[in-house]
């Protein structure tokens, strides 16, 4: 009899139930899409922010040592410490190698002569390296994708150079010309625009800078672009103060600090740290986007609950005579409430399944239109969404069901309720 009453309710009030079901479906659809995107957005946001440049820098360990005697600093004022270029390929074999999108070594050399400040910056453009029989390409074209070249990019094995936009305008240099650098002629193949210090410099393959200072294999610093997760309290702790279990958790989390620590282990005599402003901006952007998605989700679920409340209140008002008859025949408040909550549960489950399917499609559309890739829907999200649908539907129906349970059968049967 109970199931028949539920069935008859849906058969006789198809329009009311349809409106309530649509409200649940739409609310759950938005919630599914926002939760799916929020849980899968970390790597995608980090990958997008990597177009803003490297977020880690590796320098010689000697640069971090402060040698001071009697209040006098004995640290060499020159950039005399170097890393070994031969160690760079080891980055491909480190623990966090899959999070490393690219790296670019830098070697600045003063080529201006007395009274003339001019820097040549040696680097990789798109250098092909190999590690353990694996070939890969890295350089500034990966770590600094906003660098623009009027002309062509130099080959990393050539002696061709790029000239910064401001320097080229000052010296009236154009692609195709030869430029004298430290007594040698180099072909200018392009004019470089970065918006930074490079606009005033000459940028050349790394081996050109090494030859100028007669230091084969020398690297002054390395910029690394890595996928990381935003900092939390654990990320900012000193690993030396951690126990083994906490240290393993820290080391196996892709924090900027843990990847930098792994870089130090990989490259001998180096010191790695995050470029603080980039890392902080990444965490701020991610937290703000996730906060906005949470607000959209809550707003959608609140609107859904209000729509369900209105639909259920109208449906129960139309069935007041039926409720009065049930109570006159001996049905208690629990039986009346159970009937309407069962109807709400059916609405929630049907709307939840439909909303989950629609939300998955919406999430994938958002992912493809914004990030160029699909959003991964975690299987655990399905029962969570169904639970949310039930909670929202019950919350929207509770006030109307409470009124129905307290309905006086005498007034209900006389149509005065």
| Interval 282-336: pLDDT, tens | 666 667 777 888 888 888 888 888 888 887 777 777 666 666 666 666 666 677 7
Query: Do 170 and 265 share a structural domain?
Result: yes
Query: Do 162 and 105 share a structural domain?
Result: yes
pLDDT at 69: 45
Confidence bin at 276 (pLDDT 50/70/90): low
Average pLDDT, the chain: 82
Query: Do 104 and 28 share a structural domain?
Result: no
Cβ neighbours of residue 256 closer than 8 Å, sequence gap 6 or more: 55, 56, 226, 228, 231, 235, 274, 279
Query: Do 264 and 306 share a structural domain?
Result: no
Q: Kindly tell me the number of DSSP H helices and DSSP E strands found in the chain.
A: 12, 16
Q: Which tens digit of pLDDT belongs to each residue from 385-396?
A: 999 999 988 888
Query: Do 97 and 134 share a structural domain?
Result: yes
Q: Does residue 117 carry a pLDDT above 70?
A: yes
Which whole number is the average pLDDT over 43-72?
A: 65
Query: Do 240 and 108 share a structural domain?
Result: yes
Rounded-to-integer distance, Cα 36 and Cα 32, Å: 6
Higher pLDDT, 48 or 296: 296
Cβ neighbours of residue 64 closer than 8 Å, sequence gap 6 or more: 271
pLDDT at 77: 43
Q: Which of 207, 242, 274 finishes a domain?
A: 274
Query: Do 88 and 35 share a structural domain?
Result: no
Query: Do 130 and 40 share a structural domain?
Result: no
Which whole number is the average pLDDT over 59-84?
A: 62
Q: Which of 253, 274, 295 finishes a domain?
A: 274
How many domains in the chain? 2
Q: Does residue 48 carry a pLDDT above 90?
A: no
C-alpha count within 13 angstroms, C-beta hemisphere, residue 181: 28
Q: Which of 248, 274, 300 finishes a domain?
A: 274
Query: Do 359 and 217 share a structural domain?
Result: no
Which whole number is the average pLDDT over 33-43?
A: 77
Q: What percent of the chain has pLDDT over 90?
A: 38
Query: Do 92 and 8 share a structural domain?
Result: no
Which whole number is the average pLDDT over 86-109?
A: 93
Residue ranges making up the domain that contains 392: 2-48+283-413
Q: Which tens digit of pLDDT belongs to each residue from 352-398?
A: 999 999 999 998 888 888 766 678 788 888 999 999 999 988 888 88
pLDDT at 73: 41
Query: Do 34 and 155 share a structural domain?
Result: no
Rounded-to-integer distance, Cα 404 and Cα 343, Å: 14
Residue 9 burial by Cβ neighbours in a 10 Å radius (0-12, 13-18, 19+): buried
* Cβ pair 345, 9 in contact under 8 A: no
Query: Do 322 and 227 share a structural domain?
Result: no
Rounded-to-integer distance, Cα 223 and Cα 121, Å: 13
Picking from 127, 193, 184, 136, the residue whose alpha carbon sits closest to that of residue 159 is 184
Which whole number is the average pLDDT over 129-145?
A: 91
Confidence bin at 72 (pLDDT 50/70/90): very low
What Cα–Cα distance (Å) separates residue 302 from each residue in 26, 305, 389, 392, 394?
Answer: 11, 5, 11, 8, 12
pLDDT at 49: 58
Two structure tokens written together for 187: 């072909």
pLDDT at 75: 47
Which whole number is the average pLDDT over 67-90?
A: 66
Q: Does residue 119 carry a pLDDT above 80?
A: yes
The dihedral sign for the CA sequence 117, 118, 124, 126: positive
Which whole number is the average pLDDT over 17-36?
A: 86
* Cβ pair 252, 99 in contact under 8 A: no
Q: What share of the chain is helix, strand, coil (3-state, %, to 5)?
A: 55, 20, 25
> In a 3-state reduction of DSSP, which class is residue 356?
helix
């Amino acid at each position: 009899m109970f199931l028949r009453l539920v069935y008859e309710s849906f058969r006789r009030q198809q329009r009311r139930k349809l409106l309530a079901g649509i409200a649940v479906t739409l609310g759950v659809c938005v919630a599914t899409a926002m939760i799916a995107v929020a849980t899968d957005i970390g790597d995608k946001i980090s990958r997008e922010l990597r177009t803003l440049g490297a977020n880690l820098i590796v320098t010689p360990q000697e640069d971090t040592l402060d040698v001071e005697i009697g209040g006098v600093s004995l640290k060499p004022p020159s950039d005399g410490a170097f890393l070994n270029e031969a160690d760079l390929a080891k980055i491909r074999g480190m623990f966090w190698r899959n999070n490393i999108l690219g790296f670019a070594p830098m070697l600045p050399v003063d080529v201006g002569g007395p009274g003339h400040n001019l820097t040549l910056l040696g680097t990789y453009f798109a250098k092909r390296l190999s590690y353990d029989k694996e070939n890969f390409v890295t350089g500034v074209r990966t770590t600094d994708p906003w660098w623009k070249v009027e002309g062509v990019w130099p080959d990393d094995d050539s002696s061709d150079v790029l000239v910064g936009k401001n320097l080229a305008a000052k010296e009236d240099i154009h692609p195709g010309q030869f430029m004298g650098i430290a007594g040698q002629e180099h072909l200018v193949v392009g004019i470089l625009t970065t918006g930074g210090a490079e606009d005033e410099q000459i940028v050349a393959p790394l081996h050109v800078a090494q030859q100028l200072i007669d230091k084969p294999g020398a690297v002054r610093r390395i910029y690394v672009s890595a996928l990381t997760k935003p900092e939390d309290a654990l990320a900012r702790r000193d690993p030396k103060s951690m126990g083994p279990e906490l240290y393993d958790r820290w080391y196996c989390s892709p924090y900027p600090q843990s990847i930098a620590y792994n870089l130090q282990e990989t490259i001998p005599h180096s010191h790695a740290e995050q470029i603080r402003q980039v890392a902080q901006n990444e965490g701020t952007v991610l937290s703000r986007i996730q906060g906005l998605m949470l607000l959209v989700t809550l707003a959608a679920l609140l609107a859904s609950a209000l729509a369900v409340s209105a639909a259920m209140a109208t449906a129960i008002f139309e069935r007041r005579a039926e409720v009065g008859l049930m109570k006159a025949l001996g049905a208690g408040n629990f039986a009346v409430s159970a009937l309407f909550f069962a109807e709400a549960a059916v609405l929630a489950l049907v709307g939840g399944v439909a909303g989950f399917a629609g939300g998955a499609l919406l999430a994938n559309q958002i992912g493809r239109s914004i990030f160029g890739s699909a959003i991964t829907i975690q299987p655990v999200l399905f029962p969570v969404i169904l639970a949310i649908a039930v909670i929202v539907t019950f919350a929207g129906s509770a006030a109307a069901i409470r009124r129905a349970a307290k309905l006086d059968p005498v007034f209900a049967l006389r149509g005065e309720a």
